[in-house]
Amino acid sequence: MDDLCSLLHLGRDDEFLRSVNVHVLNLFSNLIVDGIIREHLKAHIGRFFDVKLSLCTAELVALLRLLGNFSMMDDACVSVGKYFSEVFEYVASESNVVRRQAWTVLLNLSCNKRCVDVILKTEAFDGFETGVKGIFTEKNEVILLKSIKFLCNVYQGMRIQNRKPFSRESILNALLSAKANLILQATLFLTQAGSASEEFADAQRLLLMLEDC
Q: Chain-wide mean pLDDT for the chain?
A: 90
pLDDT single digits (tens) 161-209: 666 677 888 999 999 999 999 999 999 999 998 888 999 999 999 999 9
Q: Please say if the pLDDT value at position 7 is more than 60.
A: no
Cα dihedral sign for 156, 204, 87, 17?
A: positive
Predicted TM-score (pTM) of the model is 0.92
Residue 62 near residue 22 (C-beta atoms within 8 A): yes
